[in-house]
Amino acid sequence: MRAYIITGLLTVIVCLVYSCQSDEQIEYMRYYTAGQDIYKTKCQNCHGAQGEGLAALIPPLTDTIYLKANGNKLACYVQNGLRLPILVKGKAFNGQMPPAGLSPIEIAQVLTYVKNSFGNNMGLYNVQQTNKDLGNCK
Amino acid sequence: MKFIILSAFSVLLWSSCSFNDKSNSVLPIYGSREPVTKTVNGKQVTDTVYQTIPNFEFVNQYGKTINRKSLDGSIYVADFFFTSCPSICPIMHRNMLKVYGTFKNSGNVKIISHSIDPSHDSVPILKSYADKLGVTGNNWWFLQGKKEATYKLAESYLVAVQEDPKAAGGFVHAGYFILIDKQKRIRGTYDGTKPEEVDKLIADVKILQNEPANMIAQ
């Protein structure tokens, strides 16, 4: 009998913990899947299905250190395009990226996808953070 | 009874396989064709004349003049692009790099990429584009010349190219790779944005490499 009660209690606790996590998890998954679709239509032609970029013409999205160090500038790059030379994986890239033509929520979604694909694992990048970062664009 | 059905089925399978094999081993010839009747040794002979790529004259990434003759004896793949293209060109050239890598050392296969935006794509810009792609030597040429001449030539490759201020980057063009044989006839067109079609192109180039020089394909 006691064993049943303990098992039941444990199950309830596990369920509780799981459901608490899943709220955040569900939001993350929503961003991630929406971002994946946006990536395919807006980014993949240049940056590649594996985020591999293209030789020395288009930077890869696999440089976690770069993405972390420039995490709060990425939204601006996506919104406004990029003309400055950047250093990714030790290589200089000086081409131009055109503006992607995305809304802040779409930018948040696609960056959540990029920041958690291709070997990156940086978690959710939500629309509040995106709006804050967009406010600081130069 | 079961055995008969099974053997009949396997014979069918076998014959369908060999049929496929046969049809794959010769590539079709595209474009218009016309019969030409001429008199040889007093006898009337009818021959088929196939559409070929007309003469052209452009400058490559090294500043060297390239014309139809420069490609004599080569199987080649042609495409149309521009270096500032934001839409399909990167994926086309990501795929073309695979073709380049496969035939870099085979000698008789070339790639020519015509810029459809020659006012921006000067020789130095094409050179720097080639360098950044990692393209060296004379297997892959990036050509530029008069815009009208390039657009007219595109028609011979059955590719549509045009300027359109509304399109991303200012031009619309189809991302086709066109396979040309040593007789300068069109032998295949492939969607350069699709990796599986580019694999087919690579296989077809190998078929052409093994084609006897005087073969008349139907």
Q: What domains are there in chain A, each with its CATH number?
A: 27-135 (1.10.760.10)
- How close, in Å, is residue B63 to chain A by CA atoms? 21
Which tokens in the block code for residue B154? 């595109």
Host domain of residue B205: 53-209
Residue A10 in this model has a pLDDT that exceeds 50: yes
User: Per-residue pLDDT averaged across A65-91, rounded?
Assistant: 95
**Other C-beta atoms within 10 Å of B207: how many?**
16
CB contacts of A96 in chain B (<8 Å) are: 84
Scan for tokens 């094409």, then name that residue. Answer: B126
Phi, psi of A88, rounded to the nearest 5 degrees:
-125, 130
Select the more confidently predicted residue: A71 or B164.
Answer: A71
Out of A48, A56, A96, whose CB is closest to B94? A48
Let me know if residue B193 belongs to a domain. yes
Let me know if residue B4 belongs to a domain. no
Separation of alpha carbons A83 and A81, rounded Å:
7
- How close, in Å, is residue B91 to chain A by CA atoms? 5
- Strand ranges in B27-184 using DSSP code E only, listed in sequence order: 33-40, 43-50, 57-59, 65-67, 75-81, 109-115, 140-143, 161-163, 171-173, 176-180
Select the more confidently predicted residue: B55 or A13.
Answer: B55
**Which amino acid does the sequence have at B215?**
M
> For the ranges A87-96, A121-130, B17-26, B143-152, which has the lowest average pLDDT?
B17-26
Residues in chain A: 138
Domain containing residue B169: CATH number: 3.40.30.10
Q: State how many domains chain B has.
A: 1
Burial class (CB in 10 A: 0-12, 13-18, 19+), A47: buried
> For the ranges A7-21, A22-36, A74-88, which has the lowest average pLDDT?
A7-21
What is the pLDDT, as a whole number, of residue B215? Answer: 57
Which tokens in the block code for residue A115? 């920041």
Let me know if residue B128 belongs to a domain. yes
User: Per-residue pLDDT averaged across A70-77, rounded?
Assistant: 96
pTM metric for this prediction = 0.80
Q: Does the distance separating the beta carbons of B91 and A45 come in below 8 Å?
A: yes
What is the pLDDT, as a whole number, of residue B12? Answer: 63
Nearest to A48 by CA among A39, B150, B149, B182: A39
At B39, is the pLDDT very low, low, confident or very high (cuts 50, 70, 90)?
confident
What is the pLDDT, as a whole number, of residue B217? Answer: 47
What is the pLDDT, as a whole number, of residue A8? Answer: 83
Look at residue A91 and give its three-state secondary structure.
Answer: strand
Let me know if residue B101 belongs to a domain. yes
User: Per-residue pLDDT averaged across B62-73, rounded?
Assistant: 96
Let me know if residue B131 belongs to a domain. yes
Residue A39 in this model has a pLDDT that exceeds 80: yes
Q: Are B86 and B168 in contact (CB under 8 A)?
A: yes
Q: What is the ipTM of this complex?
A: 0.75
Let me know if residue B160 belongs to a domain. yes
CB contacts of A54 in chain B (<8 Å) are: 90, 93-94, 133
- How close, in Å, is residue A107 to chain B by CA atoms? 18
Beta-bridge partner residues of B177: B190
Let me know if residue B46 belongs to a domain. no
Number of residue pairs across A and B with CB atoms under 8 Å?
31
Separation of alpha carbons A14 and B6, rounded Å:
57
Reported as a single tens digit per residue, the pLDDT across B169-215 is 777 777 899 999 999 999 999 999 999 999 999 999 999 999 887 65
What is the pLDDT, as a whole number, of residue B109? Answer: 97
Q: Nearest chain B residue to A99 by CA: give it.
A: B86
Cα of first residue to Cα of last residue in chain A, in angstroms, is: 67
Let me know if residue B83 belongs to a domain. yes
What is the pLDDT, as a whole number, of residue A86? Answer: 95
User: Per-residue pLDDT averaged across B25-48, rounded?
Assistant: 87
User: Per-residue pLDDT averaged across B108-124, rounded?
Assistant: 95
What is the pLDDT, as a whole number, of residue A23? Answer: 85
Reported as a single tens digit per residue, the pLDDT across A49-67 is 999 999 999 999 999 999 9
Nearest to B126 by CA among B93, B102, B88: B93
